[in-house]
């Protein structure tokens, strides 16, 4: 009797319904989309197998592996599949595999199935999308299929949950089998390969031919093999004159030859099979030379409208309530250092995080809606040629659009780009897209210098400038990609090849979960950093070296004895700040930022926003010693209007504001982005190059703008 947990893995082609089955099996909602490679992160969940006749209940852990067309990976996320399935010591190595296949496209789907079967893992075939097959006038005989393939075949409908209990029962039956049945290989290699396989088997104590073959073909992708082991395998490849490309083509063709009679026997076709009518009709419009772009432009405009106009209502509400809560806490708790830290540091920091929730939720909801419906694949098609001109790929559109919300998840979606070169370029330029964290900076500076007048009767001047900044971000990203592509040499041809899924109605539950999930990870990941920075900044601006701050405070009090208490209070805070650690640093970097038109106070805000741009407005509020509601844009704005420079003129001239705006369009001021680029490119080389490039770009353009305008 087995007491330990059972582990199973879900494997299947992209768009075969694997993620949907995962949800149906575990009840745990997660992101599913319609374009290849959306299931990038590891998703796992559990379901309970109810025991019977002396059997206890058991938990089954399900791991959803990235969608792939074969065991030979073509992109970073597909590599995960074999790294787990070829390594029995991997913590996620399954006791059984469920291969999910799309019944409407059985031949191609069975290729992956036969490969997984040959690895010697207990396998179940889950026959999905029988309804789509039926609409294409195809009927699949599951019993016939099970007999031919020699594995359990279960008919399911992942969307409705039909057949899922039977599938769970089949898992239980399969893992309880006493002896492992010997593998019936769907492909038997010829020529030199058997001898090579035998040598690898004895060298690594493997008992499966196909696993040994995978050691030969993709040992460089196996994280569990050490470098000397890989070198030894390279030696074997030379010894047996193994030609990988030729072999793989031969293997795939041989597999299709085996599969074809099986499919012919199991599938009955009445008439000519064809994609559903509405998919073909919609494609006529959405891929149309004119209407295709018009539709895409309208969809983009709706997304912008949603992020900037609709989101402003919940954002204002959050803003008012955090301000009220901070004010209330300040009054209720006894005054002192702890009160200040809690209200000005921690609560102001948290307020700065949660204000972005509506924007992130709306954007991710809309993006997942586009993925769910199948439209995103069409966007990639109509944009591929344009993107290629800049060294990118049609698939780069998704990261670039997502970058308008936040570069961190956007960069993670680049894993579906199979060409390393195009993926790297996409990663490097995605942070130039204006993310939601830049929005508060843009809004306050625009409100300062641009009048809210109407242009051409319908457009708001401020809105136009905002749109211009976003456009500048997009243009900057594309041009940068083109410049970088001149320096980063292409090592392999870029692939586009993309399966066009049929259009489907989105499942609202998934869209809702997607919104919840993105907000959760934003609040937890970005929130941690913003919170930490807020506290550090509070400490640095509240304390200073030795007694400088106290001395400065006394001086102000003496010189302003005739002024009102309120004015004096503000001046005291200002003087203290100037002599704090943060103030000292601002003074220290002032010479470097003078040419851009900035003073030491802006220097502090720049420094603080190095960690996260969101911090900028809050820091400005702290720096300009505003009492009370520190997040309220109006009060910060009023204070900025009154701010004087050394010569006694207004500090925030249009030149300074434009210089700051341009600086923030380009500057890579986000620690989370640097961290995610480090993780995705496996090293410090690219994040550092990116940081340097963007800093130079930001500095030079801000310098040019300031010098031209002043």
Partner 1 sequence: MSVRTVSQLQKGEKAVIRSFSDRLMSLKLLEMGCVPGCEVRLDAVAPLGDPICINVGGCYSLSLRLNEASTIEIE
> Considering only CA atoms, which of 228, 231, 193, 235 is closest in space to residue 210?
193
132, 103 contact by CB (below 8 A): yes
Q: Is 138 helix (H, G, I), strand (E, B) or coil?
A: strand
501, 582 contact by CB (below 8 A): no
DSSP string computed for 671-693: HHHHHHHHHHHTSSHHHHHHHHH
Question: Which CB atom, from 242 or from 624, has the smaller least distance to partner 1?
Answer: 242
Distance separating alpha carbons of residues 350 and 321, to the nearest angstrom: 12
Question: In angstroms, what is the minimal distance from the CB of 13 to partner 1?
Answer: 9
Question: Which CB atom, from 58 or from 421, has the smaller least distance to partner 1?
Answer: 421
Question: Which CB atom, from 290 or from 487, has the smaller least distance to partner 1?
Answer: 290
Question: In angstroms, what is the minimal distance from the CB of 290 to partner 1?
Answer: 8
- In this structure, the number of other CB atoms found within 10 A of the CB of residue 327 comes to 13
3-state secondary structure 15-63: CCCHHHHHHHHHCCCCCCCCCCCCCCCCEEEEEEECCCCCCCCEEEEEE
Question: Which CB atom, from 245 or from 564, has the smaller least distance to partner 1?
Answer: 245
DSSP string computed for 73-114: -SSTTTHHHHHHHT-TTSTT--SEEEEEEEGGGHHHHHHHHH
Question: Which CB atom, from 73 or from 349, has the smaller least distance to partner 1?
Answer: 73
> Considering only CA atoms, which of 366, 469, 307, 414 is closest in space to residue 673?
414
- Give the residues across from 370 on adjacent strands: none
CA distances from residue 697 to 321, 426, 507, 605, 703 in whole angstroms, order as listed: 38, 17, 43, 19, 10
- In this structure, the number of other CB atoms found within 10 A of the CB of residue 55 comes to 13
Q: What are phi and psi of 263, to 5 degrees?
A: -65, -45
Name residue, tokens 């993670």: 412
Question: In angstroms, what is the minimal distance from the CB of 395 to partner 1?
Answer: 11
Distance separating alpha carbons of residues 302 and 536, to the nearest angstrom: 39
Q: Which residues touch 695 (CB under 8 Å, ≥6 apart)?
A: 667, 668
Question: Which CB atom, from 283 or from 629, has the smaller least distance to partner 1?
Answer: 283
- Give the residues across from 125 on adjacent strands: 99, 153
Name residue, tokens 């930022």: 593
Question: Which CB atom, from 17 or from 586, has the smaller least distance to partner 1?
Answer: 17
Which pairing describes strands 267-269 and 138-140: parallel, antiparallel, or unpaired? antiparallel
Question: In angstroms, what is the minimal distance from the CB of 479 to partner 1?
Answer: 19
Question: Which CB atom, from 107 or from 160, has the smaller least distance to partner 1?
Answer: 107
Judged by the rule CB under 8 A, the positions of this chain that interact with partner 1 are 69-70, 72, 74, 104-105, 107-108, 111, 136, 245-246, 248-249, 252-253, 256, 272-275, 279-280, 283-284, 287-290, 292-293, 377, 380-382, 384-386, 388, 394, 493, 495-500
Distance separating alpha carbons of residues 248 and 499, to the nearest angstrom: 21
Question: In angstroms, what is the minimal distance from the CB of 210 to partner 1?
Answer: 16
Question: In angstroms, what is the minimal distance from the CB of 209 to partner 1?
Answer: 21
Question: In angstroms, what is the minimal distance from the CB of 231 to partner 1?
Answer: 24
Question: Which CB atom, from 246 or from 649, has the smaller least distance to partner 1?
Answer: 246
Q: What are phi and psi of 134, to 5 degrees?
A: -60, -40
Question: Which CB atom, from 97 or from 381, has the smaller least distance to partner 1?
Answer: 381
Question: In angstroms, what is the minimal distance from the CB of 2 to partner 1?
Answer: 36
Question: Which CB atom, from 14 or from 431, has the smaller least distance to partner 1?
Answer: 14
Helical H segments across 240-356, by residue range:
244-266, 277-286, 291-305, 312-332, 337-340, 348-354
Question: In angstroms, what is the minimal distance from the CB of 70 to partner 1?
Answer: 5
Question: In angstroms, what is the minimal distance from the CB of 108 to partner 1?
Answer: 3
Extract the tokens encoding 458. 């319908």
Question: Which CB atom, from 68 or from 541, has the smaller least distance to partner 1?
Answer: 68
Question: Which CB atom, from 119 or from 626, has the smaller least distance to partner 1?
Answer: 119
């Amino acid at each position: 009797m087995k007491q330990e947990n059972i582990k199973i893995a879900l494997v299947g082609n992209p768009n075969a319904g694997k993620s949907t089955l995962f949800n149906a099996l575990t009840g745990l909602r997660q992101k599913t989309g319609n374009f290849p490679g959306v299931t990038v992160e590891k998703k796992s969940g559990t379901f309970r197998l109810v025991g019977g006749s002396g059997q206890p209940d058991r938990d089954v852990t399900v791991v959803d592996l990235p969608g792939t067309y074969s065991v030979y990976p073509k992109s970073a996320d597909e590599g995960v599949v074999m790294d787990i399935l070829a390594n029995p010591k991997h913590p996620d190595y399954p006791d059984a595999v469920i291969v999910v296949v799309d019944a409407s496209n059985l031949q191609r789907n069975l290729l992956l199935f036969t490969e997984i079967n040959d690895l010697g893992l207990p396998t179940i075939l889950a026959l999905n999308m029988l309804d789509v097959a039926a609409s294409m006038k195809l009927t699949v005989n599951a019993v016939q299929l099970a007999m031919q393939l020699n594995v359990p075949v279960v008919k399911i409908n992942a969307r409705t949950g039909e057949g899922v209990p039977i599938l769970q029962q089949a898992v239980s039956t399969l893992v309880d089998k006493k002896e492992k049945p010997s593998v019936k290989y769907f492909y038997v290699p010829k020529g030199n390969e058997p001898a090579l396989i035998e040598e690898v088997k004895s060298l690594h104590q493997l008992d499966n031919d196909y696993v040994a073959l995978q050691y030969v073909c993709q040992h460089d992708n196996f994280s569990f093999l050490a470098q000397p082991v890989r070198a030894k395998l390279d030696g074997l490849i030379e010894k047996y004159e193994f030609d990988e490309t030729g072999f793989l083509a031969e293997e795939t063709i041989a597999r299709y030859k085996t599969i074809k009679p099986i499919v012919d026997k199991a599938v009955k076709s009445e008439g000519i099979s064809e994609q559903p009518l509405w998919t073909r009709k919609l494609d006529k419009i959405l891929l149309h030379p004119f209407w295709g772009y018009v539709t895409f432009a309208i969809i983009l405009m709706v997304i912008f409208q949603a992020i900037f106009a609709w989101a402003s209502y919940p954002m204002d509400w959050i803003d008012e309530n955090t301000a009220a809560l901070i004010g209330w806490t300040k009054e209720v708790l006894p005054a002192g250092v702890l009160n200040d830290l809690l209200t000005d540091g921690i609560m102001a920091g948290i307020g700065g995080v949660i204000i972005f929730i509506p924007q992130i939720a709306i954007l991710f909801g809309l993006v997942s809606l586009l993925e769910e419906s199948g439209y995103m694949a069409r966007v990639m098609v109509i944009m591929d040629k344009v993107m290629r001109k800049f060294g990118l790929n049609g698939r780069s559109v998704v990261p670039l659009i997502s970058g308008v919300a936040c570069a961190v998840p956007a960069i993670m979606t680049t894993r579906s780009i199979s060409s390393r070169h195009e993926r790297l370029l996409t990663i490097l330029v995605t942070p130039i897209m204006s993310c939601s964290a830049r929005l508060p900076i843009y809004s306050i500076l625009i409100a300062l210098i641009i009048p809210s007048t109407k242009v051409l009767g319908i457009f708001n001047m401020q809105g136009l400038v905002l749109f211009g900044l976003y456009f500048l971000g997009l243009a900057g990203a594309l041009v940068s990609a083109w410049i970088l592509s001149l320096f980063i040499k292409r090592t392999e041809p870029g692939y586009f090849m993309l399966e066009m899924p049929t259009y489907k109605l989105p499942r609202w539950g998934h869209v809702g979960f997607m919104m919840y999930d993105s907000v959760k990870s934003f609040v937890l990941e970005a929130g941690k950093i913003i919170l930490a920075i807020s506290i550090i900044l509070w400490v640095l601006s509240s304390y200073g070296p030795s007694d400088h701050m106290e001395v400065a405070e006394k001086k102000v009090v003496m010189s302003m004895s005739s002024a009102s208490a309120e004015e004096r209070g503000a001046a005291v805070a200002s003087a203290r700040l100037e002599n704090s650690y943060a103030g000292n640093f601002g003074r220290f970097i002032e010479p470097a930022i003078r040419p851009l038109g900035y003073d030491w106070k802006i220097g502090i805000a720049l420094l603080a926003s190095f960690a996260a741009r969101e911090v900028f407005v809050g820091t400005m509020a702290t720096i300009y010693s505003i009492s009370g509601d520190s997040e309220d844009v109006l009060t910060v704005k009023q204070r900025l209007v009154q701010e004087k420079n050394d010569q006694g003129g207004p500090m925030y001239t249009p030149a300074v504001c434009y210089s700051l705006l341009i600086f923030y369009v380009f500057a890579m001021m986000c620690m989370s982005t640097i961290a995610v680029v480090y993780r995705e490119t496996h090293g410090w080389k690219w994040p550092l190059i990116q940081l340097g490039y963007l800093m130079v770009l930001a500095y030079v353009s801000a310098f040019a703008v300031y010098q031209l305008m002043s």
